[in-house]
């Protein structure tokens, strides 16, 4: 027999950590096997938390063990070991049950393929699912389903395709802008929201640049406390630590990084990233780095990249829900708090409650970074709490992360284009705010009251 020196690329082992998780499942991706298919190993505890419709991907599931059912086009199919299920694109489906599955996706998964249409009550508690389905008559109308399909969902899919063809000059006209906001309003009611682990190293470069500029006001040798919330698998925390430590090696950086997911924090804490298999996230986390930057941040071998100790040193990782008041005491006051790209996946009331809680972490005069959140929610809280928008690099930071713009306007997380004709554009589009001491806000509100009563 021939001597095999390197068994790859013919034989693959299941990755040590999950590539994706949901409320009721863990999934491991064998990736990349070939150019046009993905293969997954799925441990379903309860099932997939949403119903979904795939745009282009055909998904095939083979049941290895356990039992459950697939609901495809509103029909239930009971399944058990040895059965194969194929779901073509454009058909709504979900699965429920305690099962181990092998899943095949062809072509490979791409961002924007899946539309999540509603919650799966077998996974998300019925109360939570009902809460989601209820609401005003408008909400119920927008979420109306005919033969298992959402007319508004289809209208939005079609709307996005049309929107992408509008030339930018036309899209800037007032009636078109208003129509965009109308579509976005519909999407925010119709879409089912879900958290994701998507992240990138050096995700928003202008934001990192601003962090460095803000350091100019910090004296030599001082202690700087920074909290990165919703840190996913660590790319953002390491990017911020890298920027601060390379710009100001004299500072004593105390960084806390928090995520609600134990799996994500586990990956982050290790600081080892596979160069071939994404861990938890479906994003290619190195995509926004140059080769020189990869060399500067990591020690690499053929398979993996390990974050350099001078960057990772001393970061305090923890698993916590940053919407809970306990986190304030656990972390203590911070000079900078970074809370990006998770508030948009919450309902408005949850996001507002969470943002107000997070703001309590920022010491008076400190800075809050909050992008990837509904603009109405952020503007309301910023206004209520008297935050000062940081105008330096405002436009660059708003445009600094290309992920969410393509989803405007027909997806709830889509990023509204900056419109300087709005009187409130600074507070609406700023992603960074200085949190003003409470006394100043009180004086501000009293002045506003005085002006109002005079008026
Ligand atoms: C899309 S990732 C964003 C990662 C990173 N902030 C970035 O911008 O690249 C969102 C992360 O927020 C986490 N998350 C969601 N809700 C949270 C909460 N209430 N408390 C802490 N983390 C949360 C999720 O687990 C996920 O890892």
Rounded distance between C-alpha atoms, residue 80 and residue 120, angstroms: 20
For strands 58-72 and 75-79, give the pairing: antiparallel
Contact call for residues 312 and 202 (beta carbons, < 8 A): no
CA of 453 to the centre of ligand 1 (A): 43
Using DSSP bridges, classify how beta strands 25-34 and 37-44 pair: parallel, antiparallel or unpaired.
antiparallel
CA 267–ligand 1 middle distance (angstroms): 14
Average pLDDT over residues 95-113: 88
**Secondary structure percentages of the chain, helix, strand, coil, to 5:** 35, 25, 40
CB 127 within 8 A of CB 74: no
Burial (0-12, 13-18, 19+ Cβ within 10 Å), 151: middle
Radius of gyration of the chain (CA): 23
Q: Please work out whether the CB of residue 195 comes within 6 Å of at least one atom of ligand 1.
A: yes
Kind and range of the H or E run holding 243: helix 235-247
77 token code pair: 């199919």
Q: What is the pLDDT of residue 95?
A: 96
Whether 281 lines ligand 1, by a CB cut-off of 6 Å, is no
Cα–Cα distance for residue pair 206/290, rounded to 1 Å = 16
Phi, psi of 363 (to 5 degrees): -70, 155
**Half-sphere exposure for 322 (CA within 13 Å, toward CB):** 31
Instruction: Give the distance (Å) from ligand 1 centre to CA of residue 195.
Output: 7
Say how many Å lie between the CA of residue 304 and the centre of ligand 1: 23
Output the pTM of the full model. 0.76
Per-residue pLDDT tens for 227-243? 999 999 999 999 999 99
372 against 283, higher pLDDT: 372
Going by C-beta distance under 8 Å and a sequence separation of 6 or more, which residues neighbour residue 363? 225, 333, 334, 335, 435
Take atom 27 of ligand 1 and give the residue whose Cα is closest.
Answer: 232
List Cβ neighbours of 309 (8 Å cut-off, separation of 6 or more).
none
For the chain, what percent of residues have pLDDT higher than 70? Answer: 88
**3-class SS at 372?**
coil
CA torsion angle 140 142 144 149 (round to 10): -150
List phi, psi (to 5°) of 26: -125, 135
Mutate to test the pocket of ligand 1, among 260, 285, 372 (most ligand atoms within 8 A of CB): 260
Reported as a single tens digit per residue, the pLDDT across 342-398 is 999 998 999 999 999 999 999 999 999 999 999 999 999 999 999 999 999 999 999
β-pair partners for 272:
306
* Distance set, CA 442 to CA 353, 358, 368 (Å): 21, 20, 20
- Nearest Cα neighbor of 394 from 426, 362, 367 is 426
């Amino acid at each position: 027999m021939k001597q095999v020196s390197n068994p790859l690329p013919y034989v693959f082992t299941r990755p040590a950590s999950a590539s994706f998780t949901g409320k009721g499942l863990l999934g491991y991706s064998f990736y990349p096997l070939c150019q046009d298919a993905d293969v997954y190993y799925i441990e379903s505890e309860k099932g997939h938390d949403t119903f979904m419709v795939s745009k282009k991907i055909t998904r095939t599931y083979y049941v290895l063990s356990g039992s459950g059912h697939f609901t495809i086009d509103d029909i239930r199919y009971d399944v058990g070991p040895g059965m194969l299920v194929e779901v073509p694109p454009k058909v709504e489906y979900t699965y429920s049950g305690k099962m181990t599955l092998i899943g095949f996706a062809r072509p490979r998964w791409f961002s924007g393929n899946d539309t999540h249409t509603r919650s799966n009550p077998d996974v998300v508690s019925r109360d939570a699912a009902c809460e989601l389905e209820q609401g005003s008559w408008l909400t119920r109308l927008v979420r109306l389903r005919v033969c298992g399909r959402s007319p508004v969902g289809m209208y939005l899919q079609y709307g996005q395709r049309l929107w992408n063809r509008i030339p930018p000059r036309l899209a800037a006209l007032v009636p078109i802008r208003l129509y965009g906001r109308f579509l976005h309003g519909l999407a925010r009611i119709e879409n089912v929201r879900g958290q994701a682990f998507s992240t990138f190293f050096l995700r928003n470069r202008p934001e990192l640049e601003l962090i460095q500029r803000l350091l100019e006001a910090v004296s030599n040798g001082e202690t700087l406390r920074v909290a990165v919330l919703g840190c996913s698998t660590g790319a953002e925390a390491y990017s911020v630590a890298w920027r601060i430590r390379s710009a100001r090696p004299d500072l004593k950086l105390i960084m806390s990084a928090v995520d609600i997911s134990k799996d994500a924090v586990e990956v982050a804490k290790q600081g080892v990233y596979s160069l071939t298999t994404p861990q938890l996230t479906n994003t290619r986390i190195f995509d926004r780095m140059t080769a020189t930057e990869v060399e500067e941040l990591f020690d690499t071998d053929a398979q993996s990249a390990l974050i350099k100790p001078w960057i990772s040193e001393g970061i305090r990782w923890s698993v916590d829900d940053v919407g809970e008041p306990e986190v304030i005491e656990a972390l203590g006051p911070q000079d900078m708090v970074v809370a990006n790209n998770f508030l948009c996946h919450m309902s408005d009331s949850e996001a507002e409650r969470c943002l107000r809680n997070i703001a309590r972490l920022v010491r008076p005069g400190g800075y809050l970074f909050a992008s990837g959140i509904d603009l109405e929610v952020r503007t309301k809280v910023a206004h209520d709490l008297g935050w000062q928008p940081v105008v330096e690099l405002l436009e660059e930071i708003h445009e600094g992360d290309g992920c969410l713009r393509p989803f405007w306007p027909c997806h709830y997380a889509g990023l509204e284009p900056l419109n300087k004709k709005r009187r409130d554009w600074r507070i609406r589009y700023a992603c960074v705010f200085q949190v003003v001491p409470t006394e100043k806000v009180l004086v501000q509100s009293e002045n506003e009251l005085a002006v109002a009563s005079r008026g």
